Amino acid sequence: MTRKLFGTDGIRGTANSEPMTPEVALRVAIAVGESFKNGAHKHLVVIGKDTRLSGYMLEPALTAGFITMGMDVVLVGPLPTPAVAMLTRSLRADLGVVISASHNPYTDNGIKLFDRDGYKLSDEFEAAVEEAVEKGPTARALPSELGRAKRLEDAGGRYIEFVKQSFPRGRRLDGLRIVVDCAQGAAYRVAPTVFWELGAEVFSIGTQPDGTNINRDCGATSPQQMREEVLARRADLGVALDGDGDRLIIADEKGTILDGDQVIALIATRLLKSGKLSGGAAVATVMSNGGLERFLAREGIGLHRTAVGDRYVVERMRAEGCNLGGEQSGHIILGDHATTGDGLIAALQVLAAIVETGKKASETCRLFTPLPQRLKSVRAAGEGLIEAPAVEGAVAEAKARLGKSGRVVIRNSGTEPLIRVMAEGEEEALVAEAVERICAALKAAGDAGRGGERASLRVRAAE
């Protein structure tokens, strides 16, 4: 079955347009709820969200869908995605739902689903849900069997304590000055509290969400404001989360911004030295820098690569018995603590290294020099553009010029109508040229496709 609703990270789209409408949310909840009709057990679903205005539209629609199928609902309000995954396990719920479009602007929203163990649901389950959405429900709950909804008032406090437990016992952040950028998103209440309760002096930004400013010029996708605040406050570390709190980008005391690859390198070496690196390897995606792979190899640590998407990283971690994985974009999964990316838990592991070594972040957090790499996005203008002959020719030429140590990755985004083009190699000029030529070929193919559509329309109009 061709997937129409689900992408690499749940369902996502423009708010109040298909598929991000209350009608679709209702049908999805009904379809999911029907799959849990397996006996007298009263099923429970936990629903959390970020700070987008459209969350007020989707939350009641999902709640109604689950209730009509006889499921009880616990609403936890704005909380990071990993908090909902944790609460799903803690409350012994059957399902966790997060209403969020992660790093996207407020005009988008999304629906992510977690199983009772806190892991994102499989492609097979999502395909079954799509099929059930198309068919409609076979039966709804009887009036006496309808579900109930309630709010969990201490959800944030539970998550704060959970995150703090990941910090080494007996250690504190006393004396450290930390800037935390909450991206006007789901972590705006819990993130500053975590660092403050562990003893740090905290300078918070991105903690005034208004429903429309999530991720706007702030957070993990726009860390410049965080960097400037680090320098202005003479802070020891800057921490930037994304809108749903599952990504982390850091800045050292000099204002140098470090991505998820550097965080993976740091945590991997710490786990290896303490004898706690499971599977002798880390897991990353095809987008992670080749410099990370070379560094880990020198340290005697393997690297397994996956398709883009933290769900695929987690799947490979479980298959290989690894307890560390992540993405260059900042998703860091620490399997000993969480089932999905958690920006706060990852930040505490970075801070643990700073505390334990007594060194500055600039000496602790940058462990390798990345290979020249360039990433550019092209707005998708038609179907099958990646397979267009001119595009395939540009990719082949780029690979040949970059040589054996070079890489080219071209893919459709699973969260936005974009095509991502990444090139990597030893020479920065060649890398930049490769990306520009491929992007030019994509744009030309898209323009040609639109011209064909216009010509076809003119022919039909003439007929």
Is residue 209 scored above 80 in pLDDT? yes
pLDDT of 276-335, one tens digit each?
A: 999 999 999 999 999 999 999 999 999 999 999 898 999 999 999 999 999 999 999 999
pLDDT of residue 242: 98
Is residue 446 scored above 90 in pLDDT? no
Among 34-43, 81-90, 300-309, 402-411, the minimum mean pLDDT is found in 34-43
pLDDT of 140-182, one tens digit each?
A: 999 999 999 999 999 999 999 999 999 999 999 999 999 999 9
Among 30-39, 47-56, 271-280, 360-369, the minimum mean pLDDT is found in 30-39
Query: Torsion angle, CA of 285/344/234/223, rounded to 10 degrees?
Result: 50
**List 17, 35, 100, 102, catalytic entry:** 102
Query: Torsion angle, CA of 283/284/285/287, rounded to 10 degrees?
Result: -160
pLDDT of residue 381: 53
Q: Which residues pair with 202 in a beta bridge?
A: 178
pLDDT of residue 456: 33
Q: What percentage of residues in the chain have a pLDDT greater than 90?
A: 84
| All domains of the chain in start order, with CATH | 6-153 (3.40.120.10), 161-364 (3.40.120.10), 373-462 (3.30.310.50)
Give the mean model confidence (pLDDT) for residues 47-65.
98
pLDDT of residue 4: 80
Report yes or no on whether pTM surpasses 0.85: yes
457 confidence band (pLDDT: 50, 70, 90): very low
pLDDT of residue 103: 93
pLDDT of residue 459: 28
pLDDT of residue 203: 98
* CA-closest candidate to residue 49, choices 222, 207, 209, 185: 185
> Whole-number mean pLDDT of the chain?
93
Give the mean model confidence (pLDDT) for residues 47-75.
97
pLDDT of residue 1: 47
Helix/strand/coil (H/E/C) assignment for every residue in the chain: CCCCCEEECEEEEECCCCCCCHHHHHHHHHHHHHCCCCCCCCCEEEEEECCCCCHHHHHHHHHHHHHHCCCEEEEEEECCHHHHHHHHHHCCCCEEEEECCCCCCCCEEEEEEECCCCCECCHHHHHHHHHHHHHCCCCCCCHHHCCCEEECCCHHHHHHHHHHCCCCCCCCCCCCEEEEECCCCCCCCHHHHHHHHCCCEEEEECCCCCCCCCCCCCCCCCCHHHHHHHHHHCCCEEEEECCCCCEEEEECCCCCEECHHHHHHHHHHHHHHCCCCHHHEEEEECCCCHHHHHHHHHCCCEEEEECCCHHHHHHHHHHHCCCEEECCCCEEEECCCCCCCCHHHHHHHHHHHHHHHCCCHHHHCCCCCCCCEEEEEEECCCCCCCCCHHHHHHHHHHHHHHCCCCEEEEEECCCCCEEEEEEECCCHHHHHHHHHHHHHHHHHHHHHHHHHHHHHHHHHHHC
Q: Of residues 40 and 126, which shows the higher confidence score?
A: 126
Q: Which residue bears the tokens 């592991």?
A: 349
State yes or no: is 102 an active-site residue: yes
